Amino acid sequence: MTEEQAEQADDVDEDVEDGTTDDEASGLQAGDFVKLGYTARTVEEEQLVDTTDPDVAEEEGVDDQQTEFKPRTIVLGEGHIFEAVEDEIVGAEAGDSGTVTIPAEEAFGEHDPDDVETISAEKIDEDDRYPGAHVQIEGRTGHITTIIGGRARVDFNHPLAGEDVEYDYEIVDVVDDREERAAGLFEMYLDVSPELEIEVDEVEEEVPVEPDDEDEDAEPEFETEVVEKETLYVESTPQLTMNQQWMFSKQQIAQDVIDKVGVDRVIVQEIIDGAGGMMGGMGGMMSGMGAGGGDIEDALEDADVDADEIVDELEADADE
């Protein structure tokens, strides 16, 4: 072994001892939360696919949607963005930017001619019988390319199938704050930004007691202990409550937040403000009638309130 080789071997031994190597990964890695700004367009037609830029959204006429255009928080290594873009970001730093071209097969798939079918127009709602309409046929989503007489040509490929996509991105920041991370996950999954905070609670918990070695057949016993749990409190806004993705997948979403943010549990709180005005007056009237035995319709009439109208509104709400 030459002197140079001996020195290299010593360097390797030192690296192993302190847990580092010359090839140790640097920069952003899988599991990191990053705030990403981006605009994606098809290469051939330059059709907008998605953007976080409010100026681009305004130029394209999509800024009237119920969406806030701003950089989005994603987790590297979780498939939240195209793999080719993720590969570019891994190892990069906050402030870096770039452009990645994603081939069709890795974006929205190649266009498959076998997924273009002719079907009876009777299977399509009358309001959707026109070229370009997006339709649901027997559980499949497609768009009408042509419709003549009683027959419609429906393309069940993704509307952007066969299109290469150009993806301009900028790594705006690395997200370290855990509440920001949780908020970013909710925005990514639900496009909703609920108020939330992390608190440490003391919770009573039943824990098993070690059995007596002499009594192997004894029933398991438990005792109550007070333990600390990190809790993510989320305010249940109407936007969150009525979000279909949340309605059907709240358990999976909450578990993912627990795993990625590192809290022990998620508590969704519904806040109901005290009612005033008419309802306050109604409460006073009700208590007065309870004491005096008056008639509810007479009381409503005295208060210039239409009882039939209230009943109709309550029934309508119940039907909804």
Residues 223 and 297 in one domain: no
Residues 90 and 168 in one domain: yes
Both tokens of residue 307? 């009882």
DSSP 178: H
Number of domains forming the structure of the chain: 4
Residues 168 and 71 in one domain: yes
79 against 25, higher pLDDT: 79
Provide the CATH number for the domain around residue 144. 2.40.10
Cβ atoms of 61 and 51 within 8 Å: the answer is no
Domain range enclosing 232: 177-269
Both tokens of residue 257? 């937040």
- Cβ count near 190 (within 10 Å): 18
Residues 117 and 184 in one domain: no
Residues 92 and 129 in one domain: no
Q: Is residue 56 part of a domain?
A: yes
Residues 78 and 38 in one domain: yes
89-136 pLDDT per residue, tens? 999 999 999 999 999 999 999 999 999 999 999 999 889 999 999 999
Q: Is residue 18 part of a domain?
A: no
Residues 169 and 183 in one domain: no
Residue ranges of alpha helices (H) inside 45-127 are 54-60, 83-89
CA distance 70 to 52: 5
Residues 188 and 254 in one domain: yes
Provide the CATH number for the domain around residue 49. 3.10.50.40
Residues 265 and 282 in one domain: no
Q: Is residue 13 part of a domain?
A: no
234-288 pLDDT per residue, tens? 999 888 989 999 999 999 999 999 999 999 999 999 877 776 554 444 444 344 4
Q: Is residue 46 part of a domain?
A: yes
